[in-house]
Amino acid sequence: MHATTETVLAVGYARRSTDMQERSIPDQKAFVERWAKEHGYRILRWYVDDAISGTSTRGRDAFEQMIRDAEGGKGAFDAVLCYDISRFSRGGTNETGYYLHRLKMAGVEGVFCAEGIPQGDEGELLQGVKSWQARQYSVKLSRDSIRGQHSTVTIRHSAMGGRAPYGYDRQYQMADGKPLRTIRTLCDGRRQEFDAEGRHVRFIDAEVPLGKKLKSDIVRLVPGDPEHIKVVRLIFEMCAKGFGFRSIVIELNRRGIAGPMRSKWNRMAIKTILQNPVYRGALVWNRRTFGKIHAVAADGTPCPKKAGSSTRNSKDRWIVIDGVHEPLVSDAVFEKAQREMDRRRDKGGLARPTKRYLLSGLIKCTHCGFNFHGAILKNDAGEIRYYTDGGYRARGISVCRSTHIQAAALDEFVMQRVSAIIPADEKAMAAATQRFMAALSAKSPARDNGTAIEKELAAVNRRIKALVATLADGDLNDLPEVKQALVEMKRRRETLEARQPNTASPATRLTDEQTREWATATLRDLAGALRGKPTSETLRRVIHNCVGRIEIDPEAKRGRLFLPTDTWSLLQLSASRRGTSASSSHSWMVLVAARWASPRWSSRGVS
């Protein structure tokens, strides 16, 4: 090789992933700088991405900055020098070619010093082959890594890397089970090391790597900080008793108990602990997929991955090995907590036993189909209770707006309308009861009609199931037509369910006298509950007996309140909800309110 007479201004790019066996950054720089000197290039500066995978440009800040500088003309350089094509990218021929084309359009040449790629068509072909080879190296490494991890977990029962779950420590053992050392992650991110006898050895800063273990060593989870263990058991006990995530969060923060990594407790931290089988002594792998090329199937085999980012996997893809380490809670407590979470999820906003918001379970968003949940907003004025869209809280802006309605304003609006349809004296109650009984006598069972309703209801349920499956597809979940169709199908299902004829057996049907007594007692109970200073539980019972539903339209910033048209329709609604043999065909009075007396409504972030 001989030096050229013209000096070309260039920048250097170096990258090293987490593979410790790769050529180091200083080695790459030294080779490229020597090559540049011999070939007439002058390196102005370096762009370096260290400990970052080359399978994608995502997260490679230095690489992205280099491309921007080249296209913006700010860098004033004519070439990018890189050790080889795998340092530039392992994204395959498409990605590598894309970024090389962008450089070329900016008048910047991409040069791979160790490759010896010639100019012209032959060089372009060779460059494509080498890009493909660089990609295939990453693909093979990904498959081999998954195979090795699966074997480590399922055969050797050794925990994978990362922080131990809250309440556990990571203990390194020899193949025969003899302890070598134990690592505890502290709240500030540091690690505390103990020797084989459990004596403190040292503190290790969060940035300092622990170093590789021998392949023959095994990692077991062992009970960690006793105070953390107490917190874990308290969380499971509260959940098993019926407390929801929010109630547990409030209690832990009220007691001043620090959460993981010194943060305050939140719903996600509680949910993560309660759903993790590790606390009953099971080793769990594949709860999340961090690989950029492959995901892991339920049987542990690699499968192609659509997106390169980390993803949460469904429970049917978790790989769980029972009885590997000492549990922190018993199987009975763990299973009871799972049942309680399932029960609360199925009941929606009606699951909270105490301190539940007045309209919980009645408010639904017309855009995403989720219920509204009660929440508290804290500011300089104090605490403000409001209802917030469950779709936004659960899945973010991709599903729905961030919509909030002050609870006090909406509760007052609904209470005033409910009070207007409940009779205040015995004469009005008697008239309403008489009309209710007359309507029951005039209505005859319609068996054929009931069969037709059941068939249509089954078809609607199948359609809803198909639409939900469509929304689960990442490529289709942002289609507004699908979401709107789902909302309409759910409305149709509610209508059909309301029209279903009562199918109670003769043994459970009420006589006319029993029905009359029930109707009179119901009206007296509702009227009495509103007198004086009723408790919050009493008010909730009245509201849920009287209100059909509340629909919130975040686009128009309007809400619709569905109430029975009069007292006898109110009795029909109560009868159907209590499961008596009374009619379940209701006449609705729809009241529309805009913004619930703005500015008590806030809605932002259109999806």
Does pLDDT of 234 surpass 90? Answer: yes
Rama region for 396: left / alpha / beta (φ>0; ψ in -120 to 50; rest):
left
Q: Are the beta carbons of 559 and 590 closer than 8 angstroms? A: no
Beta strands 549-553 and 363-365, pairing class: parallel
Token pair, residue 445, equals 């069972």
pLDDT of residue 352: 56
The residue type at 120? G
The label of the residue with tokens 């008596």 reads 580
Dihedral sign computed on CA atoms, order 552, 556, 557, 560: negative
Laid out side by side, the sheet with 168-173 consists of 200-204, 191-194, 179-185, 168-173, 218-223
Q: What angle do CA 290, 194, 177 make, to 5 degrees?
A: 75
Task: Kindly list the distances between the CA atom of residue 240 and the CA atoms of 322, 341, 599, in Å, as whole numbers in the listed order.
Answer: 21, 8, 40
DSSP labels, 144-181: HHHHHHHHHHHTS----SSPPPTTEEEEEE-TTS-EEE
Does pLDDT of 75 surpass 70? Answer: no
* Mean of pLDDT values over 440-455: 61
pLDDT single digits (tens) 532-549: 666 667 777 778 878 888
Quick check: pTM over 0.85?
no
pLDDT of residue 597: 44
DSSP labels, 387-419: EEEHHHHHHGGGT--EEEEEHHHHHHHHHHHHH
pLDDT of residue 243: 85
Name which of 249-253, 305-309, 455-459 the model is least confident about: 305-309
Q: Are the beta carbons of 395 and 472 closer than 8 angstroms? A: no
pLDDT of residue 470: 66
- Beta partners for 184? 192
pLDDT single digits (tens) 8-58: 999 999 988 765 445 688 889 999 999 999 999 999 999 998 877 767 767
Q: What is the 3-state secondary structure (H, E, C) of 456-517?
A: HHHHHHHHHHHHHHHHHCCCCCCCHHHHHHHHHHHHHHHHHHHHCCCCCCHHHCCCHHHHHH
CA atoms within 13 A on the CB side of 581: 20
Token pair, residue 62, equals 């230095």
Beta strands 601-604 and 402-406, pairing class: antiparallel
Dihedral sign computed on CA atoms, order 193, 195, 198, 201: negative
* Mean of pLDDT values over 321-325: 92
Does pLDDT of 484 surpass 90? Answer: no
**Radius of gyration over alpha carbons of the chain, in Å?**
33
Token pair, residue 87, equals 């340092």
The Cα 416–Cα 410 span in angstroms is 10
The Cα 445–Cα 447 span in angstroms is 6
Q: Does the N-terminal peptide bond of residue 599 adopt cis geometry, omega within 30 degrees of 0?
A: yes
What is the distance of C-alpha 439 from the center of its chain? 48
pLDDT of residue 369: 86
Dihedral sign computed on CA atoms, order 160, 164, 167, 170: positive
Name which of 103-107, 500-504, 536-540, 552-556 the model is least confident about: 500-504
What is the distance of C-alpha 572 from the center of its chain? 40
Instruction: Give the residue from 367, 363, 417, 422 showing the smallest Cα distance to 395.
Output: 367
pLDDT single digits (tens) 580-606: 444 444 455 566 665 544 445 555 433
The Cα 11–Cα 29 span in angstroms is 11
Instruction: Give the residue from 546, 597, 550 showing the smallest Cα distance to 420.
Output: 546
pLDDT of residue 354: 53
The residue type at 62? A
